[in-house]
Chain A
Amino acid sequence: MSEARFLTESELPYCKGCGHSLVAQNTERALQKLRLDPLDVVLVTDIGCHGIIDKSFRTHTVHGLHGRAVALGAGVSAGMDDPARKVIVFIGDGGATIGMQHLIGAAHLGFNLTVVLHNNMLYGMTGGQPSEFTPLGFRTPTLPQGAGKAGYDICELMAAAGASFASRVIGLGDYSDTLAKAFGAKGFSLVEVMEICPSYGVKSNPGMKLARLVEEAGLAVKVFADRSDKSYRTPANEDARSLLGPELEVKARHAHSLERPLGIMLSGSAGEGVQSAAEMFARAAISAGLNATKKGSYPVTVGVGFSASEIIVSPEPILYTGSATPDVLIITSDDGLGYARAAAGRMKSGLLMIDGSLEPPESGAETVRLPLREKAGGRNSALHSLFHLVGRTGMFPLESLKEVFLADRMSEKIEIEKLLP
């Protein structure tokens, strides 16, 4: 049986003496050794000279953005989720510099793919500027004085990040066995192929020999990792079920006395059940045949500072869910007072309920001081205050809020008598 051809008949598109041609030829030989079909393979290429190889391959080809090919290849691999198919990512040292996080992440997660890193120690397509892989002292057209720092040892990095296989080769002659080993590894593998760019590297560093350069850079030519201990499997959610379950449903079983929409702001402290109390109140209102909306406000540090909730209840459908000035403002703590002071100032009428320990803010609303934190403690002050509100206004029966509370897990923590006004 004749071997499958992975390269087309056309001439490879590289400068004379460029190692990229050898990468392509060695890749074909390695794939032939593994007896893969060309369409079992997806070749993902980055931006750079290496990336124009697509048209020379008979595999599927995907050519993306600069620095992102490893992430793109990871997506292709996880999307296929098929160990019988092979994703190979060609990337240069420039692209690897840009997308280093993608390399580390892919090695860490163990995506099933092989990165063939064409390291010619500079960005070749954009005029030869240095990359983070440029060795100490190596000169490039834009850095004629030579690099002041050693480059990355990507193989060490990949081995440390969890690669199944990582190896460095000198990009001369036949290194298809190493590539075949990498292509056959489970999980993430990487082969760094050391090259010198004949257009920029050789001219800037006359007389430099590749093997000696690599040795002087302290880059060992060896296998750094060879273990097949993990490979990525795309998560499959076997337990997915509808998000519109019966637990969301609220049955209207009570009556209400509300004739127009009412905006309520409940303002207290984080950790004192403001959001859950507001939600229970809204459900109780719905249970009384009203419409209700609820939204929360709190600082990014959700566990400290104020916690406020805006609720609208209305006999009519609610379209606009904003309420710049509430009809009812409840303040249960000092944090809550700080947040709600401006809203209180805007109120020209309505009701302001505030804990008795706090100095009421300036407001045109009827102000009522109540011991909101006393009977049920600070942690339950929000819910306790809403029981007060329902009892005081009679907008719907207390029974409605009681039922919602008793159906909630919170009822296991506090007796309902302590919450009643």
Chain B
Amino acid sequence: MQPKTELNTTSFLDGSRLITEACVQAGADVFIGYPITPANLLYLYAGSRYPSMLAAPDEITTLQWMSGFAAAGRLPVTATSFPGYSLMAESINMAFMMELPMVIILVQRLGPATGTATCGAQGDLSVIQGTLSGGFSLPTLCISSVRDCWQLSVEAIRAAVRLRSPVVLLTSKEMVMTVLNFDTAQLGAIRPVEKPRYEGDGPYRPYAAGEDLVPPFLPVNQNRFQVRLTASTHDTHGILQSTAKEALNNTRRLQAKLEKNLAEYSFWELEEEKGAEVLLISYDVTAQAAREAVRELRGKGRKVSLLVPKTLLPVPPVYLEVAARYPRVVIAEENLSGQLRTLLFGAAGRKGLSGVNGMGKMISPEEIVQEVAGDE
């Protein structure tokens, strides 16, 4: 027999466990949800880990309760998959308009509709992209490795507070349900996210923002200043204003604040190889297959670079800047239409762009190797 490897002590765990622990350590103080496959483990762990856990009767109630908790200064998290997310959609618009911080963990499974609950997929990026009426970006971070379960969960919490916005933490069945060995000593310590409050002398206007375009927050359980929150088009006081100039400027600000602060929550991995003419892009669980494919390709002496975008919405401009340096771009994702491909390059695409796509089974490293290597 061979000598022992250098693994020593590792933990046998699933990604749901890491996500839950990281969210709580980062300062999420309540989980509200309705269990749905493949997000069940996140619900299960929540009961024993969050300071408070509320079992909601459905996903509309979930988002409404979360919004109420957020208005009261709490930091709520939920976990769902597409059928639940679609029920949440109107309420996510409400929370976005009210500027309430919260994190929605979306665990992708095979659709459309009920689809196959126990089969993974990457079919929901376009759904998230279209969640907010008016084309506003719903900030979205995507987990692409076991370690991301830890780090990106913290960043999702941080972004929700920083932006005063719902944030989607996107993942999929394989990432959160497969049990594996992982050395938890690799995980960095988490410092709780600070939750700043308005400390001025007033008058307080709940939607009056400074230079960073994010209005200082005050919850409704304090007696210093009146707080008005509304889902309707409103002025800086939170008064419904139809299409008045101030109100429309406020609505414009909702997108502007996301773009202005984008650098603070832009995350990606880029491994460029000198002389490579192909850029491989992948995210979520397929990024793991892409990493293996890159290892194999390089082992064969084939040059290839790898970009793993982790902030999906809004799109950090750097992705397109990197892609512009390569004659060929291959995007691997577990859906039929190439949702990231369309998000980055539009319906027209670009020269040298191709995809590795599929549904109903994980995309394998071999499929990616074949596409990247082409006829060579």
**Which positions in A face B, CB cutoff 8 Å?**
37-40, 42, 44, 52, 54-55, 58-65, 68, 71-80, 82, 85, 101-102, 105, 234-237, 239-244, 248-259, 279, 282-283, 286, 288-295, 297-298, 300, 315, 318-322, 324, 396-397
Contact = CB atoms under 8 A, between A and B. Distances in A.
A10 B47 CA distance: 47
Contacts of A85: 221
Contact of A282 (B12, B49, B227): B12
Contacts of A321: 174, 178, 180, 285, 288, 362
Nearest to B293: A320
Interface in B1-45: 1-5, 7-13, 17-18, 20-21, 24, 30, 32, 45
B68 A74 contact: yes
Given A58-B226, A63-B231, A79 B4 contact: no
A79 B45 CA distance: 21
A284 to B, nearest CB: 11
Nearest to B228: A61
B236 interface: no
B230 interface: yes
Nearest to A321: B178
Contacts, number: 245
B181 A243 contact: no
Interface in B313-340: none
Contact of A39 (B18, B68, B226): B226
Contacts of B240: 52, 54-55, 63
Contact of B69 (A79, A292, A322): A79
A42 B221 CA distance: 8
9 contacts: A64-B94, A72-B64, A78-B68, A79-B68, A85-B221, A240-B49, A241-B48, A256-B1, A289-B5
A344 B103 CA distance: 42
Nearest to B117: A300
A52 to B, nearest CB: 7
A78 B69 contact: yes
B238 interface: yes
Contacts of B8: 251-252
Contacts of A290: 5
B258 interface: no
A249 B11 contact: yes
A295 B20 contact: no
B72 A295 contact: no
Given A54-B240, A102-B64, A252-B4, A319 B291 contact: yes
B177 interface: yes
Contacts of A239: 48
Contacts of B3: 255
Contacts of B288: 319-321
Interface stretch (B51-59, B155-163, B271-279): B51-59
A322 B11 CA distance: 20
B178 A257 contact: no
A74 to B, nearest CB: 6
Given A39-B226, A60-B228, A319-B288, A244 B361 contact: no
B108 interface: no
Given A60-B220, A78-B68, A255-B2, 14 more contacts: A39-B225, A63-B240, A75-B72, A79-B68, A102-B64, A234-B52, A237-B49, A244-B18, A291-B7, A293-B178, A295-B177, A319-B291, A320-B292, A322-B364
Interface string B82-123: 000000001100100010000000000000000001100000
Contacts of A79: 30, 68-74, 221
Contact of B94 (A65, A254, A320): A65
Nearest to A322: B362
A75 B220 contact: no
Contacts of A61: 226-230, 238
B372 interface: no
B186 to A, nearest CB: 11
A319 B90 contact: no
Given A61-B228, A243-B17, A72 B67 contact: yes
Contacts of B292: 319-320
B133 interface: no
Contacts of A243: 17, 20-21, 45, 48-49
A166 B46 CA distance: 35
Nearest to A278: B179
B239 interface: yes
Contacts of A42: 71, 220-221
Contacts of B51: 236-237, 240
B132 to A, nearest CB: 14
Given A62-B220, A255-B3, A255-B4, A75 B57 contact: no
B9 A251 contact: yes
Which 3 residue pairs spanning A and B have beta carbons closest together?
A75-B68, A79-B72, A71-B64
A203 to B, nearest CB: 26
B220 A250 contact: no
